[in-house]
Amino acid sequence: MIAIVNKGSRDHVLAELLSNSLYLTVSIDSLDYLCDFARSNPLDLVLLSEAAFLDTPSNALNKIIKKIKTRAVYQDINIPVVATLSEGRHFLPNADISVDDFIRIGQNNDDLFLCLKRFDNIRGLLWTFQKEKINFYPGQKATSAKANIAAIKYDNCMISRLESLGFNVFEYLPEDKPSNVYEQDLACLVLSYNHIFANIRKYANFIDKLPKDLSVLIVGQDFNNSLALSNKLNCEYFCSQYSDLELKKRISSLSLYRKIRLKLCDCLSKNIELTLRDPLTEAYNRRFVDNYSSRFYPQNGAFICLLDVDNFKRINDKYGHNVGDKILRQLSLTITKSVRDTDFVCRYGGDEFILIMPDIDLKEANKIVQRTKNNISSQNFCQNNNINLSVSFGVSHYISGSEIQNAIEKADEELKNNKMLLKTHSLDEILRTQNSFDHKN
């Protein structure tokens, strides 16, 4: 719900602008009543009309905003308060007002709806946090520290203006690699309209390669031209004639938006990682194996090694499943230490593990399999019980783009054959005669 604060019964410009929108709004004719309303109603955003903002003394306005912000939207993310001003107004109070952003209202009200969309997206992200019980604390240190802003090198006027507002400015050229931008914790990229107008195509390609969660703000003297260019490049815009206070608030708003998006992406990545891990051994699980062929495309394919612990059921029956679980965790760690950092160790089920060894030749694959088997057979598992293990294995070659299940089935056939061969042959003999190591397969 959006609370629109007016100054008297005649001040209904914002209410009229939003009357046909999809936003749920409520008009309030008194700042004092707003505090009472916020305590008993869930608000997502407060919009202050120009009259309500400018006709209220700065100290009184800050006190009211502080009261409103005692009720958080989620954890320490407070209800955002946005002030609206007409396009032609250039006077602002000298005091640093506690609003989160400014919106200009005039013939073109795209600024209003862009800002509403941004805060609506923030609300949606925070709702996801709440649903998934994700902790998000921007923290006083993060919000009070100087934000890192990207600007284009040689855009001296813009760089000076940003530095005067207390931002750390990192300079880039359109020719720079996007990876250079990734290295800094940036709040947004600020571009001057006049600086990029002469070569829009070059800057459009540069912007297109930037991280998708990095906001780009175009600052121009001509409001309509800046708007047209920002729409073309899918960026935000800001009129350079507006005050430094407004620019600072806009950048801070974009910075918060990016922090929330990055936090959500990080949490989602961790959640996805957890769904691909076996909770007992912390190795990758069967879901990871089943999706490997759609996620990875090793240039030279991969060797698949299926490992199975010999007579593991007897260990469970004799010592109990708690001991069996401890052994499986130790086994997973031993296998992980035996392979390369680029290999994947997966628990396929029960006491079966799969090694995925991408971009490797026959000789190296042979070494890894033998080293893994030797490390397992030489280790004393569960020292209190002095348990030693032996494993059987089967190996096959996986070709990128094919179904990994086909390679696993071949490895499983080899594993069954090797269980029989181990009774009469040594490991070296099996590896030399292993048909699965033939690259023609």
- Among residues 113, 146, 174, which one ends one of the domains? 113
Contacts from 64-68 at CB under 8 Å and sequence distance 24+? 64/31, 64/32, 64/34, 64/35, 65/97, 65/98, 65/99, 66/98, 67/35, 67/38, 68/34, 68/35, 68/38, 68/43
What is the C-alpha separation between 237 and 419, in angstroms, rounded? 69
- What is the pLDDT at residue 128? 66
Task: Report the CATH number that the domain containing residue 2 is assigned in CATH.
Answer: 3.40.50.2300
As a whole number of angstroms, the distance between CA 234 and CA 252 comes to: 19
**306 within some domain:** yes
Q: Which residue has the higher pLDDT, 301 or 346?
A: 346
pLDDT grade, residue 368 (50/70/90)?
A: very high
218, part of any domain:
yes
Q: Are residues 152 and 74 in the same domain?
A: no
Q: What is the pLDDT of residues 403-435, one digit of tens each?
A: 888 999 999 998 888 877 765 555 555 455 554
**In a shared domain, residues 400 and 301:** yes
Q: Is the predicted pLDDT of residue 440 greater than 60, yes or no?
A: no
Would 391 be classed as within a structural domain? yes
Write down the mean pLDDT value for the chain: 76
Beta-carbon contacts of 21 under 8 Å, excluding residues fewer than 6 positions away, are 113, 116
Confidence of residue 112 (pLDDT cuts 50, 70, 90): confident
Whether 123 is in a domain gets the answer no
Of 3-12, 47-56, 124-133, 139-148, the poorest mean pLDDT is in 139-148
pLDDT at 335: 93
Beta bridge partners of 239: 220
The pTM of the full predicted model, rounded to 2 decimals, is 0.58
pLDDT band at 345; cut points 50, 70, 90: very high
Tell whether 75 is covered by a domain: yes
Please report whether residue 126 resides in a domain.
Answer: no
- Residue 401 banded pLDDT, cuts 50, 70, 90: confident
| pLDDT at residue 249 is higher than 90 | no
For residue 219, tell me if it sits in a domain.
Answer: yes
pLDDT confidence of residue 305: 92
Are 241 and 294 in the same domain?
no
Give me the pLDDT at residue 186, please.
75
pLDDT at position 144: 40
One domain, residues 315 and 387: yes
For 135, phi then psi, to 5°, come to -80, 130
What is the rounded distance in angstroms from the CA atom of residue 143 to the CA atom of residue 139?
Answer: 6
User: Amino acid identity of 259?
Assistant: K
CA distance 194 to 90: 21
Position 360 scores a pLDDT of 87
Q: Computed from CA positions of residues 249, 251, 257, 259, in that sequence, does the dihedral angle turn out positive or negative?
A: negative
Domain that holds residue 146: 138-275
Q: Tens digit of pLDDT for each residue in 80-95?
A: 788 877 776 666 655 5
Task: Please indicate, yes or no, whether residues 37 and 80 belong to a single structural domain of this protein.
Answer: yes
Q: Which pLDDT score is estimated for 355?
A: 93
Note whether 231 and 293 are same-domain residues.
Answer: no
| Residues 325 and 217 grouped into a single domain | no
In this structure, the answer to whether residues 55 and 193 fall within a common structural domain is: no
Two tokens, residue 49 = 């009309």
Q: Do 70 and 25 fall into the same domain?
A: yes
Instruction: For the chain, give the percent of residues with pLDDT over 90.
Output: 9
Model pLDDT, residue 306: 92
Q: Domain total for the chain?
A: 3
Confidence of residue 436 (pLDDT cuts 50, 70, 90): very low
Are 172 and 192 members of one domain?
yes
Report if residue 281 sits inside a domain.
no
- 251 and 299 in a single domain? The answer is no
pLDDT tens for 20-60 read 666 677 777 777 777 777 777 777 778 888 777 777 777 78
Residue 253's nearest CA partner among 160, 168, 138 is 138
Whether residue 191 sits in one domain with residue 242: yes
383-399 pLDDT, tens digit per residue, is: 676 788 888 889 999 88
* Residue 166 dihedral angles phi and psi, to the nearest 5°: 95, 15
Residues 6+ apart with CB under 8 A from 386: 380
Q: Which of 246, 275, 304 is the last residue of a domain?
A: 275
- pLDDT band of residue 332 (cuts 50, 70, 90) is very high
pLDDT at 356: 92
Q: Give residue 139's pLDDT.
A: 42
CA distance 114 to 127: 20
> Which residues lie across from 110 on neighbouring strands?
none
Q: What secondary structure, in 3-state letters, does the chain show? A: CEEEECCCCCCCHHHHHCCCCCCCEEEECCHHHHHHHHHHCCCCEEEECHHHHHCCCHHHHHHHHHHHCCCEEECCEECCEEEEEECCCCCCCCCCCCCCEEEEECCCCHHHHHHHHHHHHHHHHHHHHHHHCCCCCCHHHHHHCCCEEEEECCCHHHHHHHHHCCCEEEEECCCCCHHHHHCCCEEEEEEEHHHHHCCHHHHHHHHHCCCCCCEEEEEECCHHHHHHHHHHHCCEEEECCCCHHHHHHHHHHHHHHHHHHHHHHHHHHHHHHHHCECCCCCCECHHHHHCHHHHCCCCCCEEEEEEEECCHHHHHHHHCHHHHHHHHHHHHHHHHHHCCCCCEEEEEECCEEEEEEECCCHHHHHHHHHHHHHHHHHCCECCCCCECCCEEEEEEEECCCCCHHHHHHHHHHHHHHHHHHCCCCCHHHHHHCCHHHCCCC
Domain boundary among 215, 240, 275: 275
Compute the average pLDDT of residues 324-351: 91
Q: What is the CATH number of the domain that holds 315?
A: 3.30.70.270
Percent of the chain with pLDDT strictly greater than 70: 73
